[in-house]
Amino acid sequence: MSRFAGKVAIITGSSNGIGRATAVLFAKEGAQVTITGRNAERLEETRDEILKAGVAPNNVNVVVADITFEAGQDEVIGSTVSKFGKINILVNNAGAAFPDKNQPMGFGQGIDNFDATLAVNIRSVVELTNKIVPFLAKTQGEIVNVSSIASGPRASSDLSYYSVSKAALDQYTRNTAIALIEQGIRVNSVNPGYVVTGFATAFGFPQEASDKLMNHMESQKSCIPTRKAGRPIDIAEAIAFLADRNASSYIIGHQLVADGGSSLVIGMHAQDLAELLNDKSFAAEFLIPLPLLDIMLLSMIERVCVLVALFNNSILIYFILRKSAAKLGNYKYLMIYIAVFEMIYALMDGLTAPAVFSKDCTNLLIMRADLAYIPIEYLPLANVIFCNMFGMSMALLAIHLSTATSLKNNIQLDQISYIGFFYYPKDANGIEYIHWRSVIGIIIHSIFITISFSLIFYFGFKCYHQTRVLVQQSSQSSSFENLQSQLFYALVFQTLIPILLMHLPASVVYAGALFNRSNEYLGKAMSVSICFYPVLDPLPNFFIIKSYRKALFSFSSQIFKILSGQRETVSRQRAAVVTSVSIRK
């Protein structure tokens, strides 16, 4: 007979890792299980694994809920009791570690990070346990909390808030074990060591760096004496042991360490993690800086570009209005329109702080509420406006990338805005298929873009050619012909700048995503290059159109004289002071 036959178990945080392995193991051992987490897609993957193990579908209860909120806790309990009629086992596995927006790891992280960490790792456990105790008392049930060897007794300064929350969980386990055994409820905890769950990626490090870190620790006896990092199933077996009253009835309030011996040796302290992950020789092959630092640097570049773009285009508008040749005519209003457009574009870029991400079949334009100057409820509209101003749709939505981005940067999906398509979704069996609507959508966008570019080049060249013929056939002076030529070449360069900085990189990103190829570096470079478009685009007018070039040199010389005059004035004042002092002496 299976050891959990007739039992009902709730496993929190069962959408991946240890929680998923525990849910599959308990179900295979005869338990009716409630799996719960915030990610519906990953919960379905857990359910699929359980069903593949031969478990009947009616023995699995899927609840998408956030247990840091009371509504989520009530949904988990109510759904379980409604479906199965009782609760025998509670596995408090849900837990998290967050990077801080100011500092990914270590001392000095913000109090918001502290609150978020404790809300998941201890507060939700206390609240959910309090609500489930009446049901467990009826069944003489079991509680197993999932803690960590980071809880102590040695310090874990780089995992400061995480280790504090797990230390609190250990003490809570001991306290409740004494209190609840009076009602026949046993409480214990499992404290895992280094487990292959991608823990380092939660702090914003690349997956490759996380994998290499695990490989490094497995190779060092001073890190893991067994020379083998834990797998989720290893921890699941330890949880099952403590949840099985026949096997562990005499154990309460115990922290069962499952770490391959890591806590017995000093070698690889948790506080060495950040140093190792940031070591250039260790991570040189990845050449991937922390995403948080990327975004902070990009934000600074965007703000500087906004100011320079506004200045350049304001000067250009002034020159157009005051320094244009009389023969320019109504063409100057088109030039003003372009300059005003670029100023609005620059403002939108600075207000929304967009960042381009590309990974596999995905290209995503993300706007973060914590970096943008626009309220979160208006970010989706701002995203669409920016994309239209950009001149083309900014591609390819993928849920997995937006989720990974939010985890790396300690943000939730309701705090970002993104736009685009997703080419290769997965069906219920986890098999990729082509999403033809997305493919057709991007083809339609590409057709419109191609048509618009073709029209610009065709009619621009034709207009220039016809104007040149008219000039040659008329009695217009050579100065008018020179002006026409200057305007044409300025417009050519103004067209090439956005093509080189925005449209060509975007086209490569689109093509790469369509063929399931990553363009991560190009995406980062493009996040910067799109900032420089409104900065550089006015420059051809300054240097190619003669009247503006003269005005610019005159303006620059006046500024230089003013600055030089101020310096001379300061020098005279200093000399006067020195002379006065000398006379007094």
Select which of 161, 162, 172, 423 is catalytic. 162
Q: Is residue 219 part of a domain?
A: no
Question: Quick check: 532 pLDDT over 80?
Answer: yes
Same domain, 167 and 64: yes
Q: Is residue 421 part of a domain?
A: yes
Can you tell me the mean pLDDT for 411-428? 49
What is the Cα–Cα distance from 113 to 162, expressed in whole angstroms? Answer: 10
Residue 37 pairs with which residues in a beta bridge?
64
Identify the domain boundary among 250, 265, 280.
265
Same domain, 56 and 181: yes
Beta pairing class for 362-368 and 416-419: antiparallel
Can you tell me the mean pLDDT for 351-357? 69
Same domain, 185 and 307: no
Same domain, 125 and 29: yes
Q: Which residues does 432 contact at the CB level (< 8 Å), separation at least 6?
A: 424, 425, 426
Is-contact 18 146, C-beta < 8 A? yes
Band (pLDDT 50/70/90 cuts) for residue 566 is: low
Same domain, 563 and 512: no
Q: Is residue 3 part of a domain?
A: no
Q: CB count, 10 Å around CB of 86?
A: 15
Q: Which residues does 169 contact at the CB level (< 8 Å), separation at least 6?
A: 121, 122, 125, 145, 147, 151, 189
Q: What is the pLDDT of residue 405?
A: 41
- Ranking 189-193, 236-240, 360-364, 491-495 by mean pLDDT, the lowest is 360-364
Backbone angles phi, psi at 197, to 5 degrees: -130, 10
Give, in order, the Cα–Cα distances in Å from 315 to each of 19, 210, 339, 347. 61, 50, 10, 16
Is-contact 14 22, C-beta < 8 A? yes
Can you tell me the mean pLDDT for 262-266? 68
- Ranking 227-241, 282-296, 357-371, 423-437 by mean pLDDT, the lowest is 282-296
* End-to-end Cα distance, the chain: 108
Band (pLDDT 50/70/90 cuts) for residue 368 is: low
Question: Quick check: 420 pLDDT over 80?
Answer: no
The DSSP secondary-structure symbol of 230 reads B
Q: In what order do the strands lie in the sheet with 416-419?
A: 354-359, 362-368, 416-419
State the amino acid at position 208 in one-letter form.
E
pLDDT in tens, 29-61: 999 999 999 888 889 999 999 999 999 999 999
Q: Is residue 30 part of a domain?
A: yes
Same domain, 534 and 554: no
Q: Is residue 276 part of a domain?
A: no
Q: What is the pLDDT of residue 400?
A: 31
Question: Quick check: 105 pLDDT over 90?
Answer: no
Question: Quick check: 574 pLDDT over 80?
Answer: no
Q: Is residue 345 part of a domain?
A: yes
Residue 425's nearest CA partner among 416, 436, 414 is 436
Question: Quick check: 271 pLDDT over 80?
Answer: no
State the amino acid at position 558 in one-letter form.
Q
Between residues 226 and 545, the one the model is more confident about: 545
The DSSP secondary-structure symbol of 503 reads I
Residue with tokens 């051809």: 540
E strands, 147-259, where? 186-192, 255-258
Across 152-156, 191-195, 324-328, the highest mean pLDDT is recorded for 191-195
Same domain, 370 and 481: yes
Same domain, 259 and 322: no
Same domain, 514 and 553: no
Same domain, 358 and 495: yes
CATH code for position 151: 3.40.50.720
- Ranking 12-21, 60-69, 479-488 by mean pLDDT, the lowest is 479-488
Can you tell me the mean pLDDT for 11-24? 91
CATH code for position 341: 1.20.1070
User: How would you classify residue 427: left for phi > 0, otherwise alpha for psi between -120 and 50, otherwise beta?
Assistant: beta
Question: Quick check: 253 pLDDT over 70?
Answer: yes
Same domain, 246 and 143: yes
Band (pLDDT 50/70/90 cuts) for residue 203 is: low
Q: Is residue 2 part of a domain?
A: no
Same domain, 409 and 524: yes
488-503 burial by CB neighbour count: b if 16+ within 10 A, else e?
Answer: bebbbebbebbeebbb
Between residues 494 and 282, the one the model is more confident about: 494
Band (pLDDT 50/70/90 cuts) for residue 424 is: low
Residue with tokens 């470079």: 525
Q: Is 162 a catalytic residue?
A: yes
Question: Quick check: 474 pLDDT over 60?
Answer: no
Quote the pTM value: 0.49
Can you tell me the mean pLDDT for 552-579? 69
- What average pLDDT does the structure give for the chain? 73
Q: What is the pLDDT of residue 15?
A: 87
Q: Is residue 122 part of a domain?
A: yes
Residue 336: give the domain boundaries. 291-544
Question: Quick check: 84 pLDDT over 60?
Answer: yes
- Tokens linked to 99: 């990077």
What is the Cα–Cα distance from 194 to 152, expressed in whole angstroms? Answer: 14
Band (pLDDT 50/70/90 cuts) for residue 146 is: very high
- How many distinct structural domains can be found in the chain? 3
Band (pLDDT 50/70/90 cuts) for residue 411 is: very low
